[in-house]
Structure 1
Amino acid sequence: MQTPSALLNRLLARGKFRHIQVLLFLAELGSVQRTAQAIGMTQSSVTQTLAYLEALLDIRLFDRHARGVRPTAACADLLPVARQLLLGLADGAAALAARQNQGEGYVRLIASASAVHGLLLDALPQFSERHPMIQVRLDEAEGEDQLLAIARGEVDLAICREPAVVPEGWMFEPLRADRFVVVCRPDHPLARTRAPSMKALASHRWLLLPASLSARRRFDELAERFPAMPATYPIVTRSAPMLWQLLQQQDLLALLPLNLVRPLLDAGRLVHLRGGDAHPLAPIGALRPASGLGAAAARLYEALRTRAAATH
């Protein structure tokens, strides 16, 4: 029976990054031939690599069958770790490349959709104009997905709403106020009213977000004040492109975060109805390490603070 420490020492001494790549591609593609084609190896090399890895770990990772290979339970246990290792290597390669190409650093930024639309769409291009040698990789994620990325060490800076529990060693600073607003397209029947009554709001059809989101819960609270339940559109989504398409093409109302719709309001593609606005929302802010923030990330953080303060 092998101990975890003995197995770890064996992997450190004899394991290779190529083994991880072969493992992941075999699990995804289910075929030695397709794996060989995908990563530029011969089929025999893939087969030999798999045999070496199984011998190294002293466990079967794939079941062979007529059409290819299928991950075993042991392989399934290993895959999440392998994926994180390969992602970490990719991040490291990107950071080194940014530095080697006479750059000043590399920032791994994660942000919610509201943060992207309400702050980063304007602030990030301006930052890049002033600091062209700093490379910023922006990923969009919400809530728990952001916290998981922070826990895995994949993030230098997060722009989001304050989480219920701030990760240990991190701190949150509010940057931009937010609230829920009712929006519609400029030629919607209620657009000229701008402050419609509850009866008027209830008489038109609404575009809803999924029940798990705070915007949907706020809508349900608003609807309790209506004289009757309004008609709703049959598509329920959180996809921003779909929301924008539907709101601009059809006579629909929606209750959404102000920062999420800010670019479309500024461009005149949507209008804000003043009715039903008693719905506060937590501000968007920066979630960052309390200490040890890298120089490039610190520059970005200060630029976002300055931009947010200037537009209050």
Structure 2
Amino acid sequence: MWQIDQVTLRLFIAVCEEGTIARAAEREFIAPSAVSKRLADLEALVDVALLSRSQRGVRATAAGEALLRHARLIMRGHERLQAELSEYAAGARGHVRVLANVSSMVEFLPEALSVFLKANPQIRVDVEERVSAEIVRGLEEGVADLGICRDVVPMGSLDVLPYRSDHLALIVPRDHALAGETAVGFEQTLSFDHLGLASNASVNALMQRIAMEKGSELNYRTYVSTFDAAYRFIQAGLAVAILPSEALPKHAADEYGIVAVPLREAWAERRFVICMRDRKALTLTAAHLLDHLLRSV
């Protein structure tokens, strides 16, 4: 069985990232000859070429790319192990890292996490906002324990569990021509200027494609980065927006003088999932949070 130490893995990663042994040696504060010796011993151990060398530098072979991918996972895992053990030493009971898309962070995740953390004050939960495709990639690379995202992106080899759903609606001022409708079709909205949420790129692209299929055009007047900014634009009568109705609580609707009119389209219902690399490999703390999230639906 091969035994590859972490120093060798770190040097191999540095060489792949820097492109030359000299720059990798400088980055890791070690002699270039020592780096070369480590790499030569590594290739002899695994009996396959890991690097392709030329006058311009070095690059990973196909086998080297495979090692690089696993080496990064091993090093990240070691760093996380050190951090988690340090937290236990400081009195914490665990640490969970969550990647979540903006809709889940606005609509339901804060309340669910608040209940969990009140019941488990010694557990630390870090949440980072990312778009769904980046969440999947982050989980595959081992940077988080759990991910909450839409079910429309390829999940690869991840374990995936159904979680929640939301519903897209047309958000308009209370005095808008469509404000009194019980529901509207997407085509009814195309005669108005729209506002897009920058983090909602997949929905924006979907609606533009559907508009084109209907022989029309979806005119985006502007894009904003937050729901609050979107509501202010809508309040001012500058545009309408198709956003999740769950992201517009009653107090916000009252504050901005806007309403959510349900969208009468099959694609208006969106499904969310919780994903992870391997449910059986979750830490007890991460599994505890997962169970709480599933029960809170």
Q: Tell me, yes or no, whether TM beats 0.5.
A: yes
What aligned pairs does 1:151-166 form with structure 2 within 5 A after superposition? Answer: 156-160=145-149
How high is the TM-score relative to the length of structure 1? 0.65
For 1:75 and 1:172, locate their aligned partners in 2 and report how far apart those are by CA, in whole Å. Answer: 33
How far residue 249 of structure 1 moved from its aligned partner, in angstroms, is 5.6
How far residue 134 of structure 1 moved from its aligned partner, in angstroms, is 1.1
Counterpart selection for 2:239 from 248, 252, 260: 252
What is the root-mean-square deviation of aligned Cα atoms in Å?
Answer: 4.8
How far residue 33 of structure 1 moved from its aligned partner, in angstroms, is 3.6
1:180 is aligned to 168
2:252 is aligned to 266
Aligned-pair identity (%): 23
What aligned pairs does 1:209-220 form with structure 2 within 5 A after superposition? Answer: 213=202, 216-217=205-206
Tell me if structure 1 keeps the 8 A contact 2:162–2:273.
yes
How far residue 16 of structure 1 moved from its aligned partner, in angstroms, is 0.7
Counterpart selection for 1:194 from 154, 164, 179: 179
2:18 is aligned to 29
1:19 is aligned to 8
For 2:250 and 2:265, locate their aligned partners in 1 and report how far apart those are by CA, in whole Å. Answer: 21
2:269 is aligned to 281
Tell me if structure 2 keeps the 8 A contact 1:36–1:46.
yes
Question: 1:21/1:170 Cα in 2 relative to 1: closer, same or farther (>3 Å)?
Answer: closer
Look up the equivalent residue of 2:103 and give its one-letter code. Answer: S
How far residue 265 of structure 1 moved from its aligned partner, in angstroms, is 8.1
Matched, 1:93 2:77: no
**In structure 2, the residue corresponding to 1:194 is in which secondary structure?**
coil
How far residue 218 of structure 1 moved from its aligned partner, in angstroms, is 5.7
1:117 is aligned to 106
Matched, 1:232 2:225: no
Equivalent residue pairs, number? 287
How far residue 246 of structure 1 moved from its aligned partner, in angstroms, is 7.1
For 2:228 and 2:117, locate their aligned partners in 1 and report how far apart those are by CA, in whole Å. Answer: 27
2:69 is aligned to 80
For 2:170 and 2:69, locate their aligned partners in 1 and report how far apart those are by CA, in whole Å. Answer: 41
Matched, 1:41 2:30: yes
**In structure 2, the residue corresponding to 1:274 is in which secondary structure?**
strand
Question: 1:193/1:233 Cα in 2 relative to 1: closer, same or farther (>3 Å)?
Answer: closer
How far residue 115 of structure 1 moved from its aligned partner, in angstroms, is 1.9
Question: 1:40/1:133 Cα in 2 relative to 1: closer, same or farther (>3 Å)?
Answer: farther
**In structure 1, the residue corresponding to 2:263 is in which secondary structure?**
coil
Kindly provide the CA deviation profile for residues 185-210 of structure 1, in whole angstroms up to 9, marking residues without a partner as x: x6xx9758634777873322234689
Q: Which runs of 5+ in 2 are unaligned?
A: none
For 1:248 and 1:219, locate their aligned partners in 2 and report how far apart those are by CA, in whole Å. Answer: 23
How far residue 179 of structure 1 moved from its aligned partner, in angstroms, is 0.4
1:6 is aligned to none
Look up the equivalent residue of 1:194 and give its one-letter code. Answer: A
Look up the equivalent residue of 1:241 and give its one-letter code. Answer: S
How high is the TM-score relative to the length of structure 2? 0.68
Tell me if structure 2 keeps the 8 A contact 1:207–1:253.
yes
Counterpart selection for 2:191 from 203, 209, 212: 203
Look up the equivalent residue of 2:191 and give its one-letter code. Answer: S
Question: 1:41/1:139 Cα in 2 relative to 1: closer, same or farther (>3 Å)?
Answer: farther
Tell me if structure 2 keeps the 8 A contact 1:162–1:287.
no
Look up the equivalent residue of 1:107 and give its one-letter code. Answer: V
For 1:211 and 1:103, locate their aligned partners in 2 and report how far apart those are by CA, in whole Å. Answer: 36
